[in-house]
Structure 1
């Protein structure tokens, strides 16, 4: 060991800056009576370099922590949206099954009432039922838009509004 300043291999960290300026490898200056001028470091120089390295690592840590916090915030927002969309999907699924049940029952009622109609009215009703079964998506969209605009007009009118029985009141 005779006066050499050598860092044990287990103490060298991979991925850190080269610290040979603080701990020169064994034999690097063998045979010279003094260190070259550029490699003379005082304790305060070494401390300053360590301090700079620490501040750099601290800044990186702070930056990564902010990014992690941002990602955690985005994750919770995405989870909130997922729950909201799941609830909407579930509600729409329930509504679809409800509407399917209504259609089934109305078809049953039509089938029961149809024989009591005259032949001419039976043909009209059967034609109307077939047309209703052939509704297309664009037709449905225009019906929904018309219904929504009618609701908006009635809801924002202020002076009059429709009651549940369809009559207008003041």
Structure 2
């Protein structure tokens, strides 16, 4: 749960870059000296930093977009499978109802011994 040495080094490096990019206020008695070249260099550094950050965020966004598409494909596939299983379950239920009706119609014509065998077979099938 504690930050690793690599994370602390990265944080220290980021702080050093920020301090170099934005030095503290000048000490009393020191005039602020900004030359055009220094200002351009600082702007260039800031631009390069922002451009690198933009590039990283763009890559991450593209990665997330591709993951989203993959997840949507999986969702559609599972939805289609679920729908197919539901349809198949209804078909099997209808078949079982019809077979049960046929057995109920034929059962009275069987001998007493066969009626008991069929009734026990139907009970086993229900379990």
Shift of residue 68 of structure 1? Answer: 0.6
TM-score (norm 2): 0.75
Q: Aligned pair in 2 of structure 1 residues 20, 99: CA closer, same or farther (>3 Å)?
A: closer
- Which residue of 2 is the match for residue 73 of structure 1? 66
CA distance in 1, matches of 2:108, 2:22: 102
- Which residue of 2 is the match for residue 155 of structure 1? none
Larger RCO (alpha carbons 8 Å, 6+ apart): 2
| Residue 117 in structure 1 maps to residue 110 in structure 2 | yes
CA distance in 1, matches of 2:22, 2:60: 33
Aligned length, in residue pairs: 108
Shift of residue 75 of structure 1? Answer: 0.7
CA distance in 1, matches of 2:68, 2:46: 32
Matched residue of 2:53: which SS?
helix
Where structure 1 has 5 or more consecutive residues not aligned to the other structure, the ranges are 1-16, 135-170
Which digits, 9 at most, give the CA deviation of each residue in 1:113-139, with x for residues without a partner?
A: 1111111011000001001111xxxxx
Ranges of 4+ aligned residues in structure 1 off by more than 4 Å: 17-21
- Which residue of 1 is the match for residue 101 of structure 2? 108
1:1-170 counterparts in 2 under 5 A?
36=31, 39-134=32-127
| Larger helix proportion of the pair | 2
Which digits, 9 at most, give the CA deviation of each residue in 1:55-81, with x for residues without a partner?
A: 000000000011111111111111111
| Pairwise CA RMSD | 2.4
CA distance in 2, matches of 1:20, 1:104: 80
Where structure 2 has 5 or more consecutive residues not aligned to the other structure, the ranges are 1-17
Structure with greater Cα Rg: 1
Matched residue of 1:114: which SS?
helix
CA distance in 2, matches of 1:20, 1:69: 32
